[in-house]
Amino acid sequence: MAYSLGIDAGGTYTDSILIRNSDGKVTCSNKALTTYPDLLEGITNSIDGLDPEKLKLVTMVSVSTTLATNTILEKTGYPVGLILVGDYEIPADSEVANCIMVRGGHDSRGEEVESLDLSAVENFVLRLKDRVSAFAVSSYFSVRNPEHELRVKALIQELTGLPVVCGHELAQSLGAYERGVTAYLNAQLLPVAEGFLKTVVNEIERRGLESRIAMLRCDGSVVSMQEAMKKPIESVFSGPAASLLGASYLSGQETCTVIDVGGTSTDVSLIHKGLPYLSENGAVVGGWQTKVRALRMETSAIGGDSHIWVQGSRTNIGPRRVIPLCRAAVLYPSFMNTLKKRWIPDRLKLNEHIQATKFFVRTKQKASNLSKEEEELLAHIRNEPLSLKDVYWDRNVLPSKKVMDSLIQRRLVQVIGFTPTDALHVLGEYNEWDSEASEIGATLLANFLGTDRQEFCLNVKQLFARNMAKDLLAFLMEGVDRNEIEKMLEGSFFSRFKVDIPVILLGGPVRAYVDDLKRLIDAEILVPEYSSVGNAVGALVGKGTKRVEITVRTIYSESKYDLKTKGVFVYTPTGRRHFILRSEALEFAESFGRELILNYMAESGLSPDQVTINVERKDIKVHTGDIPLETRFIFEGISNSDVYEKAVSGNKEFSNSPEENRGQTESLDCNSPVETSLAENWE
């Protein structure tokens, strides 16, 4: 009898489940607290709660995590330097720090438009090398010719030895700035991903399990650990992908929406006839538009452990995750005494950090390259939770919000505060931790608003449910203004929204919100068995896939009166190749695409007979009967071996399959093939 082990490391809990391979039945599960910042203890505790005899028979391990998503949402990624090669239009609201734009880049044919300014790159890199953990580089039309990105990468590695992420390594679609953002975020996540994945591998090896280890990507497919460590941005919605697949499997619903309530965020996604609904434009997370092929989803930085704080007459949620008061009372022996001191700050000075229920504690993370102000503040923070008054007991001036934010972002300080989880403890709808701590916190905050703690917690719960409903409706009614949805939800009308497909809830205490949601929307709302570990189930559902895009493009002379072919170029993820004959170019593209797929699958331990390769081909013509200006090949390799027969495939887009699309031709309404194919002379 063989089993598969699924692990999901969330912001609050690390979940583990065992599935029997013969029939796909969940045989046991366990939840353990995610340990911060070292995840090993949480993973070990989670696996320890499973049947030890069944564990010995595990042949497959697959993991999912919200770690990358939470890192971006909470802005706790490692510092990175970004080099943009070419003439970019950078958005005015761009939050990219440590960025430079240098001369260079290519055109849509892959021809150099300006020589690369390596001296500017060198000066930038030498200035930053001691302040960043990695570099990212994106060059104009690198999907047509990655030469400049590769030259910059080689120079940086020679000068610093630091990791370098190139835009063309992560995406083959147009949009140079978005590729740069994708590379930038990927570089921020490299140390985070490496630490997490090595922890998983070491724990599996320590237990003597001879298992294949994989990770779920944000499109519902699985990849090898080696690939996951190189491209952690592709796991950015790994947790939500797992929740979608797990919810569908556990509920038996092949078409449904899923609301996954985690500790840090709430995610909404859709599965239709067993296929995840994918975004055409790439994942958007924390306001960043990326080129990562992922689920289309609605995500908000509001979860069960989001910070509840008051200011004026307003109750605020998030965006940062904190340790709930009820949990802190169990983790730290002295915390209840600190909480019972009931420090009451000046009402006029209240902000996100200055709260009667907010406390700070030092983590085990090692500090480096701190400013004088950061060093001074960190020296006052201890290994036991302290309020700001305790931290600065002998001073009249409280620390600046900017300095405190920096220490939190760098994971040197962990925050404790009141959360929706605390509200449920006060209301008696969840009793996992110390309810007395939650009650004290609720009383302190309610006093600022002139209400009692019961009413305050009911308001927090209703506010949280409204956010769940708003995220769901904003996802289903794409294009409708969120403010208008919010008006409807907050108003008192003789009508409400109706959802025509089942809504599946996943997460710890989600049952507590079913009635509140039903008052806001008319829908079939289901909470399946094992819903609290649905992500760990979903981690085992995805198949091993690899997608490769190759373009064959005919280049004509510049004159519209002379349409002689200048040659045929094949653009691949590894560079471009020139051919005289189109037939040779097509033959090379077909064979090289398959070769890339099989080589990738071999790295995951799969032989050619275990892989099915689907090929989608699209010819782009000016007029019917013409020789195509461009031919696009999309190769998709899919592992033949399912973890169990009922696994929900997450490897295809919410559209026709590649077989159905094969051989499709697009015709463009234009007068000349020169300069018009795909309108891609801009990035």
Render pLDDT for 534-548 as a digit per residue (tens, 0 to 9).
889 988 877 677 788
Using an 8 Å Cβ cutoff, are 35 and 187 in contact?
A: no
Exposure string for 85-100, b = 16+ CB within 10 A, e = fewer: bbebeeeeeeebebbb
Instruction: Return the ∠ at Cα 88 (arms to 93 and 82), rounded to 5°.
Output: 75
Q: How far is CA 202 from CA 6, 43, 57, 194, 455, in A?
A: 16, 11, 18, 12, 48
pLDDT of residue 652: 28
Kindly report the backbone phi and psi dihedral angles of residue 593, in degrees, each rounded to the nearest multiple of 5, phi listed first.
-60, -45
Token pair of 58, please? Answer: 């595990």
User: Residue 392's closest CA among 402, 379, 406?
Assistant: 379
Q: What is the pLDDT of residues 357-371, one digit of tens each?
A: 999 999 888 888 888
Q: How far is CA 218 from CA 44, 63, 283, 596, in A?
A: 25, 12, 9, 21
User: Who contacts 290 (Cβ-Cβ below 8 Å, separation ≥6)?
Assistant: 178, 181, 182, 185, 233, 236, 282, 283, 284
Using an 8 Å Cβ cutoff, are 633 and 589 in contact?
A: yes
The confidence band for 416, taking pLDDT boundaries of 50, 70 and 90, is very high
- For the chain, what is the mean pLDDT? 84
Q: Which of the listed ranges 155-169, 193-207, 226-240, 274-288 does the model predict with the highest average pLDDT?
A: 155-169
pLDDT of residue 658: 32
Q: What is the pLDDT of residues 617-665, one digit of tens each?
A: 999 887 666 778 889 999 988 877 554 433 333 322 323 333 333 344 3
Tell me how far apart the alpha carbons of residues 537 and 465 are, in angstroms, rounded to a whole number. 25
Residue 25, pLDDT above cutoff 70: yes
The confidence band for 394, taking pLDDT boundaries of 50, 70 and 90, is low
3-class SS of residue 117: coil
Q: How far is CA 129 from CA 80, 193, 664, in A?
A: 9, 21, 49
Tell me how far apart the alpha carbons of residues 456 and 176 are, in angstroms, rounded to a whole number. 48
Question: Which residue would you say has higher pLDDT here, 311 or 676?
Answer: 311
User: Residue 130's closest CA among 79, 83, 188?
Assistant: 79
Q: Provide the edge-to-edge strand list for the sheet that holds 359-362.
A: 323-324, 413-417, 359-362
Residue 315, pLDDT above cutoff 70: yes
Residue 495, pLDDT above cutoff 50: yes
Q: Which amino acid is at 618?
A: K
Token pair of 126, please? Answer: 């030498």
Residue 609, pLDDT above cutoff 90: no
- How many other CB atoms sit within 10 Å of the CB of residue 433? 19
Residue 154, pLDDT above cutoff 90: yes
The confidence band for 398, taking pLDDT boundaries of 50, 70 and 90, is low
Q: Report strand pairing: 575-579 vs 134-139.
A: unpaired
Average confidence (pLDDT) over 546-562:
74
The confidence band for 584, taking pLDDT boundaries of 50, 70 and 90, is very high
Q: How far is CA 432 from CA 12, 104, 323, 336, 438, in A?
A: 13, 58, 14, 17, 12
3-class SS of residue 412: coil
Matching residue, tokens 């994945």: 197
Q: What is the pLDDT of residues 243-272, one digit of tens each?
A: 888 899 899 898 999 998 888 788 888 988
3-class SS of residue 502: coil
Q: Which residues pair with 169 in a beta bridge?
A: none
Token pair of 282, please? Answer: 């790439």
Q: How far is CA 492 from CA 462, 496, 521, in A?
A: 14, 9, 13
Range of weakest confidence among 282-296, 332-346, 486-500, 595-609: 282-296
What does the DSSP assignment read for 639-675? ES--SSTTPPP--S-SS--HHHHTTEEEE---S-STT
Q: Provide the edge-to-edge strand list for the sheet that holds 164-166.
A: 99-102, 80-85, 134-139, 164-166
Residue 225, pLDDT above cutoff 90: no
Exposure string for 153-172, b = 16+ CB within 10 A, e = fewer: bebbeeebebbbbbbbbbbb
pLDDT of residue 396: 60
Token pair of 245, please? Answer: 């697949």
Using an 8 Å Cβ cutoff, are 195 and 97 in contact?
A: no
Token pair of 34, please? Answer: 């995610």
pLDDT of residue 635: 92
Sign for the CA dihedral angle at 292, 297, 300, 305 comes to: negative
Compute the CA torsion angle 122, 123, 128, 134 (nearest 10 deg).
Answer: -20
pLDDT of residue 45: 94
Tell me how far apart the alpha carbons of residues 338 and 389 are, in angstroms, rounded to a whole number. 11
Using an 8 Å Cβ cutoff, are 31 and 42 in contact?
A: no
Tell me how far apart the alpha carbons of residues 616 and 661 are, in angstroms, rounded to a whole number. 6
pTM of the model: 0.68
Token pair of 534, please? Answer: 């649905």
Tell me how far apart the alpha carbons of residues 383 and 360 are, in angstroms, rounded to a whole number. 9
Range of weakest confidence among 206-210, 416-420, 653-657: 653-657
Q: Which amino acid is at 344?
A: I
What are the residue ranges spanned by the domains of the chain?
344-413, 545-679
Question: If you count them, how many residues does the chain have?
Answer: 683
The confidence band for 79, taking pLDDT boundaries of 50, 70 and 90, is very high
User: Who contacts 238 (Cβ-Cβ below 8 Å, separation ≥6)?
Assistant: 64, 65, 66, 68, 69, 215, 216, 217, 218
Residue 508, pLDDT above cutoff 50: yes
